[in-house]
Amino acid sequence: MNDDTTPENAGLTAESIDLRDETAAAPEVAEHDRLAKLEAELAEAKAATLYARADAQNMIRRAEKEAADSRAYAVTGFARDLLSVADNLARGLAAIPAELREDEKLKGLVTGLEATGRELDSVFARHGITRIVSQGEKLDPNRHQAMFEVPSNEAPGTIVQEMQAGYMLKERLLRPALVGVAKAAE
């Protein structure tokens, strides 16, 4: 209890003095509550800022990866179109009989076609387009498309015939190889 003789307390009852003491303490409590609330809001704002910064960094990384992939694989459509040219050239060269290859009149033509095939392979290699090796390999459904099965002495699932070459563009499949697969002989 307060001393009733002080000039500030003159004319006040004991109850009103106690009430005045409580209201004097109330601003300290209110200030403490306000401070705690502000600290909680600050912590929440800091956490939100960290999440936003992390999200922005992730978005930047994704955009950079997408841009790099776009640059690396921009030629996909064009490369697929050129594969049919390479197939036709290879079929044309394979169709030339050995005796015509030795004919002096056609030797220049055959040599030119073979040089064109080598140059096309060189251009493919410069741009990251590689032929999938299939013959004798195990069937890989990520790179090969089995078209038929052939009874064979080879291990089942081994590629015994390639109908159409498959190609990769860097790490991606450009076109699967169309293959015949060995099955157990009966």
Query: On the CB side of 158, how many CA atoms lie within 13 Å of its CA?
Result: 11
Q: Domain end: 21, 49, 72, which one?
A: 72
Domain that holds residue 35: 12-72
Question: For each of the chain's 186 residues, which pLDDT tens digit applies?
Answer: 445 555 555 555 555 555 555 555 566 778 888 999 999 999 999 999 999 999 999 999 999 999 988 888 888 889 999 999 999 999 999 999 988 888 888 888 999 999 999 999 999 999 999 999 999 999 999 999 999 999 988 899 999 999 999 999 999 999 999 999 999 877
Q: CA-CA distance, 110 to 84, in Å (whole number)?
A: 20
The phi, psi pair for 180, rounded to 5°, reads -105, 140
Cβ atoms of 174 and 141 within 8 Å: the answer is no
Q: What is the dihedral of CA 129, 130, 132, 133, to 10 degrees?
A: 170
Q: Judge if 92 and 164 occupy the same domain.
A: yes
Q: Domain end: 43, 72, 101, which one?
A: 72
Choose among 131, 133, 134: nearest CA to 180.
134
Q: What is the CATH number of the domain that holds 148?
A: 2.30.22.10
